[in-house]
């Protein structure tokens, strides 16, 4: 039973970290609320996530990020900030999820969480300019809402069905990697066309 609990905790931690890569604040807020109502137990080390000041602060930043990420140009600024925030959130969530049910060293858990969240965040950050460029910014709110919805679904799955959350994160990384590759090719060709046009004008 202890081994099963440890494996579930690790799989769930990957799910929470993946969710943090899509929205750094949503899983932190959800986990804090879940601990506050006794649905999960974060233990004394991470109980601060469910404290009133932490929930208010995280909730406010979550709302600001939720709105700002729907606005072209501003979303790029938030993504740049998220390059630091998402891995930090992933590290906290991974260590919090595994602290009571797993013997995994906190440093290892933090690194795994940071890498998972960071990888997902980089994928969405590379893909977003492609969406902005091909839709003139109109598609940004749609994509952002899809990211928020996926983050919420991943958070719920990580807490309820960890193995499914882990599988979803793997699929998400593959899809984002493919989109990022296509987006990089699109931006490179666009840059080459622009440079070619400038040379012709000369």
User: pLDDT tens for residues 114-158?
Assistant: 999 999 998 888 776 666 666 655 667 888 888 899 999 999 999
The answer on pLDDT for 192 being more than 50 is yes
User: Where along the chain do its domains lie?
Assistant: 2-201
Encode burial over 16-32: b for 16+ CB neighbours within 10 A, e otherwise.
bbbbbbbbbbbbbbbbb
- pTM for the full model? 0.86
* 19, 156 Cβ separation under 8 angstroms: no
DSSP the chain: -HHHHHHHHHHHHHHHHHHHHH-SSHHHHHHHHHHHTTSS--TTTTGGGGSHHHHHHHHHHHHHHHHHTTSTTHHHHHHHHHHHHHHHHHHHHHHHHHTTT----HHHHHHHHHHHHHHHHHHHHHHHHHHHHHHTTTTHHHHHHHHHHHHHHHHHHHHH-HHHHHHHHHHHHHHHHHHHHHHHHHHHHHHHHHHHHHHHH-
Q: What is the pLDDT of residue 1?
A: 44
Label residue 100 by pLDDT band (50, 70, 90): confident
**C-alpha distances in angstroms, 138 versus 24, 39, 53, 75, 142?**
23, 39, 36, 13, 8
What pLDDT, in 10s, does the model give residues 47-99? 899 999 999 999 999 999 999 888 877 877 888 888 899 999 999 999 999 98
The answer on pLDDT for 201 being more than 60 is no
Count, residues in the chain: 202
Structural tokens at position 180:
């990022």
């Amino acid at each position: 039973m202890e081994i099963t609990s440890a494996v579930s905790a690790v799989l769930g931690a990957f799910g929470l970290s993946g969710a943090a890569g899509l929205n750094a604040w949503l899983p932190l807020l959800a986990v804090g609320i879940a601990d506050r109502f006794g649905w999960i137990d974060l233990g004394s080390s991470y109980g601060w996530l469910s404290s009133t000041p932490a929930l208010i602060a995280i909730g406010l930043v979550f709302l600001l990020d939720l709105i700002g990420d729907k606005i072209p140009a501003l979303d790029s600024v938030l993504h740049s900030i998220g390059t630091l925030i998402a891995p930090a959130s992933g590290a906290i969530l991974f260590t919090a999820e595994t602290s009571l049910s797993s013997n995994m060293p906190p440093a290892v858990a933090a690194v795994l969480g940071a890498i998972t969240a960071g990888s997902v965040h980089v994928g969405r950050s590379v893909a977003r300019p492609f969406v902005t460029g091909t839709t003139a910014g109109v598609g940004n709110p749609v994509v952002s809402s899809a990211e928020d919805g996926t983050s919420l679904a991943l958070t719920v799955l990580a807490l309820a069905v960890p193995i499914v959350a882990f599988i979803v994160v793997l699929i998400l990384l593959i899809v984002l990697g493919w989109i990022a590759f296509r987006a990089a090719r699109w931006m490179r060709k666009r840059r080459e066309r622009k440079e070619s046009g400038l040379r012709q004008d000369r």
